[in-house]
Structure 1
Amino acid sequence: MIVSLLYRVTRKLLAVPGILLRRDTTKEAELFVLRHENTVLRRQLAAPVRYEPADRFWFAALSSLIPRRRWAQVFPVQPGTVPAWHRRLIAKKWDYSKRRGRTGRPPTPAALKKLVLRLAEENPRWGHRRIQGELARLGRPVSPSTVWQILNAAGIGPAPRRSGPGWRAFLTAQAEGIIAADFFHLDTVLGKRLYVLALLEHGTRRLHLTGVTAHPTGQWAVQQARNLAADFGTRMESLRFMLRDRDTKYTEAFDAVFQSEDVDVLLSAPRAPRMNAHCERVIGTIRREALDHVLIVNEAPARRVLGRYQDHYNGNRPHQARDQLPPDVSEEPAAERQHGHPGKLLRTRILGGAINEYRYAA
């Protein structure tokens, strides 16, 4: 309102010389235009010429004193620009743009974007769903598409995709009662090969790395099965099937340990690793997240590394099959952290920084 009133008063005042001195009105107006243009140019010699609102105000006001046919020779802009400035000034008064609220989806908080980019930078092997899972575990729920948009806007490409599980119909229906077993190997810095027996509970995704040895025999495998049964205790009653391949290290005595607890032993088909896809995948996860980034000297360091990774996997790593909860966690973070100020984010380095765990300071 004040700008519009000032604009009209200025035009009226500039029209006074036109009434008193009709002959020199055009010449005086041209002089005012040129002088003001020089002022603008002197102010912006080091940069392209930009007209501020006050400059547009003067040009629009002086345009009424100059014949329209001379605008192209007098004004430093196109003839249509001056009326456009005038229309914009009048429209701004009546469009109520200052009263309009922001429409559409609310923007993502800058702190959340910064956190997503930090997780992506510190964990280059994490894709957008893995980052979304970590955020959910920290009490910062956000959709996977939002995480993808933040990464894409920052020029961060997707992490390598992993193949999904096979034998889907059976494993989905019987997941709560299945435990799967498989051997995998790792090589020390001196080239010695060590073997590990890994077992995975399908229902809870709880991982068990029972032992490390350079000479995996049938008797050693039986002892690992007995140790596992002792650790399970009454939880063995919840299991119905033991899924394994046809490796000769699985003897009749190995099967007898589980059959004594009313657990049926299922054998996968020969050369069909996807029939034990969950266990095969967790072995790949162990390699990508831990073993590929540390050097193993002998059996003792291997046990420490695998034991530390097992604790991380069961206690802190989110899983999509469990709504982004770790196997040993039964509920989501406290509700007050989902809406209030979460506090400082702390990082714990596992295995010398190969793995990162996050939590908020109390």
Structure 2
Amino acid sequence: MRVHRLDAEKAIRLLTVGNLRNAKLRVKRVQDYVLIPLNIDVNIDDLGKALEGVQWAICEDNFEEVSTGRTYKDILRGRIPEHVLSRLPSSFDVIGDIAVINLKEGANDVLKYGVVIADALMGVARNVKSVYVSVGGLQGEFRLRALHYLGGERRTKCVHKEYGIKLRVDIAKAYFNPSLAEEHRRVAELVKDGELVADLFAGVGPFTLHIVTKRRAKVFAVDINPDAIKCLLESLKLNRSRLIGEVVAIAGDASSFISVVRRGAFNRVIMNLPRKALDFLPYVKEAVAVGGVIHVYVIGESLEEVLSKVRGELDPGMHIVGATRVLDYSPRKYIFRVDVRRAA
């Protein structure tokens, strides 16, 4: 279940007292919300009674099992050289049942102890079946990770869950950020039934899938990476029973797509490409209907810096109507979502 972070402590206490919380799984924080795992036989009525006065929502997600308090680095201490251990971050990404350890540079010394590291990680995250290391961040036009296999099952495809939505992901062939689950949901909740939406740089389609399982909207999901679009098409099959909207999936360049649509075609455009979204803004302006909104994602050190960048690209009749810090990008840099409305 999901509760706002300000209600999390109270909700956890009430659920524990009522024997409704699954204490074997780890509570997780997603943006401004906390996801609390429940026992499988929980009754909705019992939840309502136990959480009177607390706003909550049922959701589905992946959770790590609670360990004995030891981290994978604790297990590795004394089993691998200290200089290798010091290079490993304390946290790692979990996508479906695949874990990815992110390194800034060079993996040769880590790869020597790959099996040992993978076994330690799978020992504390028992839902994980495969372990990889990613070196140097995202690379190339398709924003792919430079992956090296460490241990477990040797595969890169999995099914990741967000709020009960199943996403097919191939971590070797398509970009996906598991930290954006709440942002995907938040934007989907802004969409209204009947809207025509362009999800540019859609990747494997998390924004699209959240929208069409929640709203009777039509989404054009565009990504230049054909493997990302293949994942989206597989996800549509996996979520067939939940779909209430419509998806047109397009493997192609976003600017080429925008150049052939009619003026004012879309009620909403999502531009989740933080490094380059502002470069595409001139192409997108004319494609948005009067009253429509562009969600543009931008990297910056402060909200003021980001707002200044976006204002510099706007035409008369376009106004910023909202801005949110979404995610930490690097030390002292963040990803922001800026909402721009076309008024005329």
Shared fold (TM-score, shorter chain, > 0.5): no
Structure with more helix by fraction: 1
Quick check: which has more Rg, 1 or 2?
1
Name which structure has the greater RCO, CA cutoff 8 Å, separation 6+. 1
TM-score range, shorter-chain basis?
under 0.3
TM superposition score normalised by structure 1: 0.24
